[in-house]
Chain A
């Protein structure tokens, strides 16, 4: 029982990060119908930006996170600006463009930080909380709390603000949105920037849990992508559920199958997607491609 609960906590913690990555994929896909293959690399840049700043300045971790958000937000805007001339012209080239940006970001990270990577100290160095024999690391609580906050803010933005409503309108019907006076390009840029900010939050949170290195974007990108697909690509609740499911699956597979854990995780994923190709919340997704 204790082992089960302990695994559960680890799974939820990683699940929260996967959910953030999946939400980043989904918000861009919803708005533009585009899978941003550079997203994993943006997460990696976020992890580097936050950890480098945190270790260099010793300022609170929250400040480092804000710095990472600003850095990746700008990267998101740059990617969108480069891809914009292709919108409605060549969709395949846009997709390839995002793959290219991913490679560029990875190369940039190697140039700036080297190929080996670095470990990040735990920003909340307090004893784990003991709950009837189950030890809950305080950092896990921080990760879950921050992820929940980011999710709530995003939901508020989409539902309560004019820009959020406009973004949803573009996602549903970009021609009608244009006729309403909404600038589709600007809305896409906002989606990209928000996706990148979510990537920064995910990256900075995962930094102290993993080893920050230039190729981590690939692993996290694939997990987040698969999580988004599991939940139903483009659906925000789906991204959260998919992320959590992946985190838990990962944790239990690691506990029971050791070195085969990744294999088990992805086989389960493949089976679910075969049975339900549209994902768990699939019917709610928007198809614009």
Chain B
């Protein structure tokens, strides 16, 4: 469904990612792990058209993402949860969610499903998003991405800055969404969380894919340990 072939990202002369290829099939959950600066975020941003990119091929279903304008991707069913949450701080929670459904009618959004998934957002729906805690903002960012009824959701470091309890909560939600048929691409530094949520994983190092495998295998792979610890 999502097919990335030979994707490279350069910022000026700096290479952030090089020759990255992967595919995501419907219902799959793919993890991309690696140390800080390995090129994970750049890869996701490049898929969304938010970073300067080159690729041999970048397709989402029938859509050629290299030709599609970034703001049209939502309409095709590509949801994105950016690193650092990026909620709209000065707008109420409910409006943040509705903006996730900007491209469709506000009369028939899946907002009730999102509230069912994150009851705390319903309680806080009239609060400004900027007044929420980090964990609540993360839920809001995930909820906002769900509002466009995506087929694939790209998540960038949803565990960043969250307490272990909240990380576990996010993991449970992601697993549930994946069980319901949503394909997930999870970019994380937190390898433990990623192995828990996903079935397949890529390990990135210095902008390139260093290893691929099932999450169960990689969990015990000494290479992962080496890449993380730099040994």
Contacts and interface: CB of A to CB of B under 8 A. Distances in A.
Interface of A: 162, 165-166, 168-169, 172-173, 175-184, 284, 286
DSSP class of A's interface residues: helix, strand, loop or mixed?
helix
Given A177-B99, A179-B82, A182-B99, A172 B71 contact: no
A180 B74 contact: yes
Contact of B144 (A172, A180, A284, A286): A180
Contacts of A162: 98, 102, 106
B60 interface: no
Given A162-B106, A169-B99, A184-B71, A175 B50 contact: yes
A82 B225 CA distance: 52
B15 interface: no
Nearest to B154: A179
Interface in B37-84: 48, 50, 69-75, 80, 82
Nearest to B82: A176
Interface residues of B, number: 27
A179 B48 contact: yes
Max chain A C-beta neighbours (<10 A), residue from B69, B95, B99 = B99
Contact of B87 (A175, A176, A286): A176
Contacts of A184: 71
A179 B83 CA distance: 12
Nearest to B74: A181
B102 A182 contact: yes
Contacts of B69: 183
Given A165-B98, A175-B82, A176-B82, A181 B148 contact: yes
Contacts of A183: 69, 71
A159 to B, nearest CB: 9
A166 B102 contact: yes
Given A165-B98, A166-B99, A175-B50, A181 B71 contact: yes
Interface of B: 48, 50, 69-75, 80, 82, 86-91, 95, 98-100, 102-103, 106, 144-145, 148
A169 B102 CA distance: 11
Contacts of B102: 162, 166, 180-182
B91 A175 contact: no
B95 to A, nearest CB: 6
B150 to A, nearest CB: 11
A179 B70 contact: yes
Given A165-B98, A169-B99, A176-B88, 7 more contacts: A172-B89, A176-B87, A177-B99, A179-B48, A179-B80, A181-B71, A181-B72
A165 B98 CA distance: 9
Contacts of B73: 179, 181
Given A179-B82, A180-B100, A181-B102, A169 B88 contact: yes
20 contacts: A165-B91, A166-B102, A168-B88, A168-B90, A169-B91, A172-B89, A172-B91, A173-B86, A178-B50, A179-B74, A180-B100, A180-B102, A180-B148, A181-B71, A181-B74, A181-B75, A181-B148, A182-B71, A182-B99, A182-B102
Contact of A179 (B50, B91, B95): B50
A74 B106 CA distance: 30
A165 B70 CA distance: 19
Contacts of B88: 168-169, 172-173, 176-177
A12 B168 CA distance: 58
A236 to B, nearest CB: 12
A176 B140 CA distance: 13
